[in-house]
Structure 1
Amino acid sequence: MTSKTRNKVESTIETCRAEGKWKNVIELTEELKSGSPNNESLALFLVGEAKLENYLEENPLVGENYDKIKGGLAEPRRLLLQITGENGQKAGIALDAYLLLAKLCYACGEHEQSLENFVKAELNTLSEKSLTLRSLKILAESYAIKGLCLENQIAKPSSKYKKTEKESEMITSFEKATDLGLLYLQEQDNTPSHALSDIVLSTTTLSVSPPIKRMGTILETALQRAPIVLIKAGKLQEAIDRYRNMLSAIETRTTQSLRLTLARQLAEVLLRGVSGTVYAPPKGTLPKSAKKLWKPRKYMGRNHFIPKNQHEETILLLLVSESLSVKDAVLSQSPEFKMVRQHAMDNATAVYDLLSLATVRWGLGSLLNDSFEKALKFSYGEQHIWRQYGISLASMGRYKHSLRVFEEVTRLIPNDPLPSLLSARLCYESLGLFHEGLHHSKQALSKELKGLRPSRSQLYVGIGYQQLANQSNLNSDREKYHKLALEAFQQAVDDDENDHLNEYYLALEYALLNNIPEAMHHIRCALALRAEHSPSLHLFTLLLTANEKHFEALNVVEDALEEFPENLNLLHVKAHLELFMDEPHSALKTVQSMLNIWRDHYESQINGNGANGGGILALNDNADISERHSDTKSIHLQTMSQFSDKDSSGFF
């Protein structure tokens, strides 16, 4: 074989290696066996590599079926072992052989043997130099496998020093794997198919590097594990910096889905693991320094937006994640796209759940609502997205629209009582549609499953009857509805005697029927179950006054106001009690406090800085804020304000 022909064959082989065409590599390798002992060793290496990679592509590493894998990789192991000796050293491919043997051992579950091969390859002492795409991938996977082997190592370190040393080595391996992996993907996108490079780990080969469609399971695992092992090691800030470094790397076609995962994970870390006092914002663009060969290229520019606080960075990450998830959404409802569609939907749902937490926490309800409206375009039949959308509409005060959305959710999950309860709550609390609310409550009651807190649906039925009784003009209708309400509340108490709301509403019903002794009994039961429930304290105070125990009532209301200083209902009762006891100055002071609270609350609402729309906030928002909003309603809404109590969403 002439030198020109041999070079052409080698070039074609390297093209096939870069493209993952392993069967073609095996066919072309036959032409290299003649002419030189080095060619014989190179041919063994290429066939062993091709058989190894081809087997792993056809048999992904799922589960621990190591016996089958060992049998399938017996021949590649034999071929690669043949070139780890003197002939392989002379041919310059022993290093590559050890790295591939380490990968083979990892696939077979032989983690210790894999680490031994890395020691033989002197992986820790390799110096940075230019590499071909194939060599970049081998090296990136080698560091990834080393990190995974160290993480899964059964033998525990004998001392604290050894444990720290192992942990540091594992973190370093994952970090190098992420840097080399991202660099490999960038080079894969940027290298034209006709480009050649003659600097490789195996000194006798050339490389042609066309784009490769997949990064491989090992690399993808390493890219996601790198920050996680830092978090497990208690190095939270280093984990955040690692996320930021990976996200600031120039994007490639292969990393788009990975970028979605990383951005979502970093947002989750910032939401759940970082408080404002320990948050460190990302640094700006650093001065240009000497380019490191084994570091990925990053976005550079003067006008890039850099978040200044935790809120900005979290929202930015989630908006980026949302954009990527919308881009990946599958609109086709054909059965053949079911798996892909479900995977994209799962990613989008995770992003929207986090976006809900972040936007509600920082009062950005309109942003959340806009995001859900975009999500509806690809969320046909996805009840979770529709339910979240309905809750976001309620938080914006768009109650009628929210009710229609919950009715659609009811259609999507006909056996789940929760959407019907949400609809009933909107009807009772915000829309004044008591007949419709009662209808939804009865629907929920008919769907209740055994053991799933049946008292909540029963309670809502009783509330519906109670409100209808209050609205009725005819005595016959009022008596009928009060009787039905009393029966429903009593049944709710029987179903769950540990629910303070059941006892509270039963006490309220007895009070409306002028049965003060029974009302007092049940309100004491409610307070025994939850002493800090402000509506129960309010009703208890009123019942004490009905029994002419005014001093006791004043003591109760003053104690309650220490817990709820802005509760207008309690302040109203206090002012009346002070007037009754001939304390006009104290009563005037109390009324002035009420006016100040009313002014502050409603001015903030007018300016757009107050409540986002009533007690439904208790579903997702901070419970104390929700109760404050409900407690500062005007007096004529006193009864309806109880639905906004933070525990009234307890049917979750």
Structure 2
Amino acid sequence: MNSKLKGSRLEAEVDKCRSECNWRRLGDVLLSVRSKNSGMQQYGDLLQAEYIIESFIDQNSEFLESKAENKKDLEKAAKLLYDTLQSSVAEKSTVFLEANLLLAKLHYYCAEYEQAIQDIENSRLEFGDTPFESLRDLRLVAEAYAIKGSGMLSSSTSGTNGKQNVDRMGELLETTLERVPLMRLRHNLIDRLWDDEGVEWYRRIMTSLGDKVVGEKLQQRLSRQLAEVLIRGMPDSGYMESQSVSTKSQNLRFYTGSHRSYFSPASRIEEILLLLLISEVLATKDVVLNRAEELAASRQNSLLVAKSVYNLLTLVLSALRQYELLSNIHEKAMKFANEDKYLWFQFALTLLCHGRYIRASRILSQCLAIEQYDDNTLAQHLFAANIALEHLGQYDEAINHAEKAIKLCERNWLFGRCLLLKAIALSMKADMVVRYNSRNEMRLEVIKLFENAAAVDPHDDLIHYNCARQHAIARDLQVARDWCERTLELNPEMPPAIMLLALIFTAQKDYKGALELVIDALEDFPTNYPLTVLKLMLEVKFDNGSVYTTQGTSDYGTSTVSMCSRQSRTVETHFMMKANIWLELAELFLDLDRMEDVRPCIEEASALYPNSHQILYIKGRLLAARAAKCENAAKCEHLRSDAKSSLLGALAIAPSHVSSLRHLAHIYRLERNIPMAEKMLRDVIQIDPLHSDSWQALGMILSEEGRFEEALECYSTASALNSSTPLIPFSTLPVLIHAS
């Protein structure tokens, strides 16, 4: 087919190949150019030299440096160009210009900068007397100016090589355009802190390249570089509207009509986001997906470019708390991040911040499944354990990750935290065990782990707090108090530790000391919900409940909700805290015998959290209290039956809810179903044998049956436990994994 091309058809094909930089096609056409009667034989040497130079650049574009060693590969092209200049065809001004400019390009890549500048002067380019007959001529002229500027810079800088001066030598024009704004920035920043002119140069070049496919790679790099400049250097107050962007917007409206709308950034952060999103689209478009070994280097380079953009997006969007957008961007990266642990880990952290814990856990598992150890592997195990503990309730999984983290940390500064995570996971698993003996054995192991962690890191307040909590649950009050006081020495502003110390005071029947401690703490933490509830209960204990009963239920509940629920971090915890406040208020009114105020509290809580076992428990208590005051036997029986149904419903949701079991036993006792009441109370004691009220109730049932020796033993146990039973169970205190 090539042999058939002659005359004007051949000339048009050659011009097309040169304009489109299709050098492979030009190599095929060269045979036709050199054939007899082609009409272009005299241009054969020039075109072949151009083909050799451009093919060499294309083949080595990713790693090409300006160095003397390239002279060997370009020696033939240099000979052909010199032959062209000495031939009669050089009398044509266009051929003379092209040959000299190609020689300048060749000498530049051979690191002969002075000779390259001399070639440009020989071409008489700056005299302006040579017409540009094609797009190829325009490109060669533009490259010539780029070569002259780069050559002058290289010649004036001693001790530099091509690699230092040119980041990517594949495209001279791209390299030159990339340098212009950077040099302007460096020049102006010597005199002042911030330079609008250098930034405007970035914008001017990018708006010119914005709709051209040829400059996509340059557009990607410039977008990322300008975003970095705006992030690091430009103050928010120093942002000025870009003249280049305004001109571009006006031109777009002129050519496409006013019915089309275009986004133009109006602030620094808008421009940064626009630049990074443009850079991300172009970078991911160029990622090499082919996994062939010969393309491994290109694939790695394209991945590094994409990751640099993702890092900047993470920096900006995380500061704006736009985690959903960030997770969507990272999700698109997964198509080429098959074995890249860094991108998987970034995706998992983004999902974690967005609150998508199940997906984050799966992504972390995938990240850890990649058989490649790096510095983040330990952190990945810790994050996986944290998610399994706090959000998924997968305690065995958390223990497994914590143990792997312990092996990896090699007793470094994170060793104490790894032990803390394992101990917390084991303690939360122990809380799920129904049998007290098994649970107690696990708690002894937990306490030992906490003490080992404290020995490793004696200044970690979380370790000391959790250890104090476990000792308190085991009713080792003096040891718990010592650990708690040490916690407050390390961190005086930890409300859970203050709450624990106050509960220890209540267990030791020092209610006055507990109340003073809580009142002082609420001055520093006025929105803390647990401390507010404890203060309420202590004041009722001191017969100050009239302060609350004289107020309207709705007014008090609303004020408490608005004050305390502000500390909640998520929507879910916000509604849970509101519901818990209403339930605590309802329980307070039940204790104060204010039954008419209980129902509004239950209704408010039900609207917020309808499936809570606590709501069914309070309903059961309210119905039982109404039955106790009812004089109509039939109605009393009906209310008691409804109360029993509510308590059984609560137990269906939470089978080990001690309060529901205890009040259900009381109803069975009133119904004279003593065996069932005894069974309920023994179940309670099996779950929590350290609560004095359960032993007291069991003693009452046994004494009614005439089993006085057993009843006496129960009363003795209740009396012994009463001296260590707090106002609120120690187990209700939060388990702290990280400081809030």
Q: TM-score, normalised by structure 2?
A: 0.56
* Structure 2 counterparts to residues 265-414 of structure 1, below 5 A: 265-282=225-242, 285-286=246-247, 302=258, 303-324=261-282, 327-328=285-286, 345-413=303-371
CA shift at 1:330, angstroms? 6.3
Task: Return closer, same or farther for 1:378/1:595 CA change in 2, 3 Å cut-off.
Answer: same
Between structures 1 and 2, the one with greater helix share: 2
C-alpha distance in structure 2 between counterparts of 1:426 and 1:124, whole Å: 68
For 1:546 and 1:143, the matched residues in 2 are separated by 82
Match of 2:23 in 1: 20
- What is the correspondence of 1:460-479 to structure 2 with a 5 Å cutoff? 460-469=421-430, 474-479=435-440
Q: Deviations over 1:287-308 (max 9, x none)?
A: 999x9xxxx9x98664222232
Show CA shifts across 1:249-275 (max 9, x none).
Answer: 353443344444444444444444444
Q: Verify the 8 A CA contact 2:488 2:497 in the aligned structure 1.
A: no
Give deviations 1:24-48, integer Å, cap 9, x for gaps: 798788799xx9xxx99x8876666
Q: State whether residues 511 and 519 of structure 1, in contact with CA within 8 Å, keep that contact through their aligned partners in structure 2.
A: no
Match of residue 204 from structure 2: 245
2:487 to 523, 532, 551: 523
Q: Which moved more, 1:305-314 or 1:120-129?
A: 120-129
Paired letter, 1:136: L
Cα RMSD after superposing both structures: 5.8
Residues 216-255 of structure 1 correspond to what in structure 2 (within 5 A)? 216-233=170-187, 234=189, 237-248=196-207, 249-255=209-215
The answer as to whether partners of 1:387 and 1:409 remain within 8 angstroms in 2 is: yes
Q: Which amino acid aligns with 2:176?
A: A
* Other-structure match for 1:436: 397
| Residue equivalent to 2:739 | 645
Q: Which has the larger radius of gyration?
A: 2
3-state secondary structure, aligned to 2:264 = coil
Give distance in 2, aligned partners of 1:381 and 1:474: 46
Deviation at 1:580, TM superposition (A): 12
Q: Is residue 519–residue 535 contact of structure 2 (8 Å, CA) maintained in 1?
A: no
Higher-RCO chain (CA-CA 8 Å, sequence separation at least 6): 1
Assess if the C-alpha contact under 8 Å between 2:65 and 2:109 holds in 1.
no
Per the alignment, residue 196 of structure 1 pairs with: none
- Three-state SS of the structure 1 residue aligned to 2:273 is helix
The reply to whether residue 66 of structure 1 matches residue 63 of structure 2 is no
- The 1:542–1:61 alpha-carbon spacing in structure 2 relative to 1, beyond 3 Å, is closer
- Residue identity opposite 2:23 in structure 1: G
Q: Which residue is equivalent to 1:598?
A: 564
Q: Which residue of 2 aligns with 1:144?
A: 146
Query: 1:374/1:603 Cα in 2 relative to 1: closer, same or farther (>3 Å)?
Result: closer
Preserved contact between residue 282 and residue 307 of structure 1 (Cα < 8 Å):
no
- Residues 115, 146 of structure 1: 8 Å contact kept: yes
Q: Which amino acid is the alignment partner of residue 461 of structure 1?
A: K
Q: Is the contact made by 1:501 and 1:526 (CA closer than 8 Å) also made in structure 2?
A: no
2:364–2:380: 8 Å Cα contact kept in structure 1? Answer: yes
Q: Distance in 2 between matches of 1:239 and 1:420?
A: 45
CA contact (8 A) 2:284 2:306 kept: yes
Residues 473, 326 of structure 1: alpha-carbon distance in 2 compared, 3 angstrom cutoff? same
Q: CA deviation at 1:400?
A: 2.8
1:425 is displaced (CA, Å) by: 0.8
Q: Which residue of 2 aligns with 1:618?
A: none
1:199 alignment counterpart: none
Indicate if the aligned counterparts of 1:13 and 1:28 stay in contact, CA closer than 8 A. no
Q: Displacement of 1:541 after TM fit?
A: 8.5
Shift of 1:52: 4.2
Aligned residues: 544
Tell me: CA distance 1:116–1:307, structure 2 relative to 1, closer, same or farther (3 Å). Answer: same
Look up the SS of the partner of 2:263 in the other structure: coil
Q: Counterparts of 1:150 and 1:581 in 2: how far apart (Å)?
A: 90
Residue 418 in structure 1 maps to residue 379 in structure 2: yes
How many angstroms does 1:485 deviate by? Answer: 2.9
**One-letter amino acid of the structure 2 residue matched with residue 401 of structure 1:** R
Q: Distance in 1 between matches of 2:443 and 2:569?
A: 38
The verdict on how the C-alpha distance between 1:83 and 1:582 changes in structure 2, with shifts beyond 3 A counting, is: farther
In 1, distance between residues paired with 2:339 and 2:457? Answer: 34
- Asked if the contact 1:285/1:300 (under 8 Å) is kept, the reply is no
Cα distance in structure 1, aligned partners of 2:422 and 2:573 = 37
Provide the C-alpha distance between the structure 2 equivalents of 1:358 and 1:368, rounded to a whole number of angstroms.
Answer: 10
Q: TM-score, normalised by structure 1?
A: 0.63
Paired residue type of 2:70: I
How far 1:429 moved relative to its partner?
Answer: 2.0
Gap regions ≥5 residues in structure 2: 1-5, 159-164, 576-727
Mark the CA change 1:61 to 1:470 in structure 2 (over 3 Å): closer, same or farther: closer
Partner AA of 1:20 in structure 2: W
Residues 458 and 492 in structure 1, CA contact (< 8 A), matched pair in contact too:
yes
Percent identical pairs in the alignment equals 25
How many Å apart are 1:461 and its aligned residue? 0.9
Offset at residue 488 of structure 1 (A): 2.9
Q: Map 1:72-83 onto structure 2 (within 5 A).
A: 72-74=73-75, 76-77=77-78
CA separation of 1:139 and 1:555: change in aligned 2, threshold 3 A: farther
Structure 1 unaligned regions, length at least 5:
157-172, 175-213, 610-634, 647-652
Deviation, structure 1 residue 445: 2.6
C-alpha spacing 1:76/1:309, structure 2 compared with 1 (3 Å): same
CA distance in 1, matches of 2:454, 2:125: 69
